[in-house]
Amino acid sequence: MKFDTPATTNPIDQLKVIGRPTDRIDGPLKTCGTAPYAYERHDVAPDAAYGYVIGAGIAKGRIASMDLSAAEASPGVLAIVTARNAGALGKGNFNTAKLLGGPEIDHYHQAVALVVAKTFEQARAAAALVRIAYTRAPGRFDLAAQKDSAPLAKPSAFGGPPETRVGDFSGAFAAAPVQLDATYTTPDQSHAMMEPHASTAQWKDGKLTVWTSNQMIAWSVGDLAKTLAIPKENIRLVSPFIGGGFGGKLFLRADILLAALGARAARQPVKVALQRPLMMNNTTHRPATIQRIRLGATRDGKLTAIGHEGWSGNLPEGSPETAVNQTRLLYAGPNRMTATRLAVLDLPEGNAMRAPGEAPGMMALEIAMDEMAEKLGIDPVQLRILNDTQVDPEKPERPFSQRRLVECLRAGAETFGWNRRNARPGQLRDGRWLVGMGVAAAFRNNLVMKSAARVRLDKHGVVTVETDMTDIGTGTYTIIAQTAAEVMGLPLDKVFVRLGDSAFPVSAGSGGQWGANSSTAGVYAACMKLRGVVAQAAGITAPDAVFADGMVRAGERALPLAQVAGEQGLSAEDFMEYGDLDKKYQQSTFGAHFVEVGVDAATGEIRVRRMLAVCAAGRILNPKAARSQVIGAMTMGVGAALMEELALDKRQGFFANHDLAGYEVPVHADIPHQQVIFLDETDPLSSPMKAKGVGELGICGIGAAVANAVYNATGVRVRDYPITLDKLLDKLPAVA
């Protein structure tokens, strides 16, 4: 099915099941501990051996020698996989051959060996006996030192052009009556998901099955096939449950490849889970940024010049953090310039992390908007409203399909009590606490991806949905079941959903905030096709068929779906692909974040007291699951604002705090009650579901809202994240 014109009649619009706050159908499995995660698949691989990964002890150079003799003689050892004996590895789309390093070393903790033994303890003990000598080489580890020589990044499908120019930015900025020129930095950040990268691999009759934790099944099958030089048809990836990903499990990673290589070498199934101390340096992370923002405005608050330049670093052939991209779309202004530059660094690979680009980009842009508001003497909410636009500022001929940023800001200001905010910073006290409020806009593009599904109706009137879509804790099982139930006129308990298996039709996968909208649209397409099959089997003209209450009706005829399915059942498979609506209309999601903080006047400790997000993100398929996604994203944003930082050793080139003890993330005690408001919105130009994504919108802007609240509380402007108390202490108002 192709979506290029909104349908006039759509069974989704009945809203009998879709749009209702529904408990997750997979919830009991997770709360009872029976959901089968990748490392725990004892049912499919009861005789599995254990692999222990050895990571490189240097950041740049080569392996001079590797002595395996003591490890090979250690009790229980079945095999040791290294680059020397693994065979030639092909290069996948994300340079997957380098997932096993040697003799050249590209970054610290790059996997250089896998020790396979009968038990985990034996594998770990043997790994400690491997002796590796390295020859170090000088490396580039400091983004600031490489900044001035960093060239423009290469254009990409997701990142777009590295540079855009509209009008005369330089002239307009120089002539602007009010100017802001400020630089902001964000640090390297880790996904820090609860479940590590983990896989169980098994070879049988020349075919490979991997039970893994992966967000994009089809991508990883293709990359694994290229890396191992075997046909895709000989690989099956199974990933029904994922314990967090945030973008870190979008691609083929070392655990999958090493489990496959280990199982081949040991001639039996092998489990591999990356040890937590390897996670921060071995897998991908959100790279640090340096961002320069220049804004020019008239004295009444109209932006006349908008310039945003971003620098980030990555391995050769890596991609940049596209922190400037939201600035191309968020605010009006006739003279504009954005540029993304990429420095080559010998650090672990930087790649997608929840809202790549917008999350760190808005941490800078939305502070800059507050700083400009202060220069102008205009309320920060009003400044954003003054510079709203209903068309793409760089392509005025292309309107937004929906854009309700102003409504989000106004609704949020009224709900939060913004009118009680003191515009003068450092004025409001509550005992020992300095209290302040902050605001930021939220923006994330709406992306759609081709997605397919297969549906079967059986003799019991149960519809089974199969698609390789994954559920990374977002409620995908539930919204897919809701979609099938709505279209087929069934109660939710008459739908069974199977996900995360490459044997199923290829879906959009989980990433980029495209998963929910795209995957449900694919299920919609398959169910609409099944409706036609059912109508034909019932002898009913398809357009006249009404599906409701487990029946198919036309005129005076009414037949139970179970009866129409018969003993053999009925099935259909289809996909949803998209025309050029996204080229005719700019499709984005919008929101507004409001935060109140308290800052201890003596110690500089920061406590978030209240949080509110107002979101406009198309039809909300399941408000309960969507709220969970937004409050989770807001929590991540608080972490980014106040505590998260991979501490980089610039001499040795590695992240020193590579565990959950040293890399701090928010816990329940850090987060107050969070309020989320969804505007009643549908976007018929987005998909048949009229939905968009919301899982990443919640992290976009929240960090800046926290930073702006800290400034309002203290009068101390911090432009270098995270905002830790050492950056406040010397500048706080004197304690009375």
> No. of H helices and E strands in the chain?
17, 32
- Token output for 389: 């636009």
Residue 471 CA, distance from chain mean position: 13
Q: Are 590 and 692 in contact (CB under 8 A)?
A: no
User: Are the beta carbons of 66 and 113 closer than 8 angstroms?
Assistant: yes
Quote the distance between the C-alpha of residue 215 and its chain's center.
10
Three-class DSSP category at 674: strand
Residues 496, 502, 508, 514: what is their CA dihedral angle, to the nearest 10 degrees?
70
* Nearest-angstrom CA–CA distance, 722 and 703: 9
Q: Which amino acid is at 204?
A: K
Alpha carbon dihedral 285, 286, 290, 295, in 10-degree steps, equals 170
Question: SS3 of 512, please?
Answer: coil
Burial group, residue 14, by CB count within 10 angstroms (0-12, 13-18, 19+): middle
Residue with tokens 């106004």: 410
DSSP conformation letters of 465-511: EE-----SSS-HHHHHHHHHHHHHT--GGGEEEE-SBTTSPP---S-
Tokens 């609704």 belong to residue: 411
Backbone angles phi, psi at 711, to 5 degrees: -65, -45
Q: How far apart are CA 302 and CA 284, in angstroms?
A: 40
Contact of 211 with 503, CB cutoff 8 Å: no
Q: Are the C-beta atoms of residues 310 and 289 closer than 8 Å to each other? A: yes
CA separation (Å) from 88 to 98, 198, 224? 11, 23, 13
Query: CA-to-CA distance for 629 and 591, rounded, in angstroms?
Result: 14
| Helix (H) or strand (E) run with residue 554 in it | strand 551-554
Bridge partners of residue 440, in order along the sequence = 593
> Angle of helix 623-642 relative to helix 702-714, nearest 10 degrees?
50
696 is catalytic: yes
* Eight-state DSSP code of residue 733: P
Q: What angle (nearest 5°) sits at the alpha carbon of residue 297, between those of residues 292 and 301?
A: 125
Using CA atoms, how far apart are residues 706 and 370, in angstroms rounded to an integer? Answer: 12
Which of 524, 463, 534 shows the shortest CA–CA distance to 494?
463
Q: Is 709 helix (H, G, I), strand (E, B) or coil?
A: helix
Residues classed as catalytic: 696
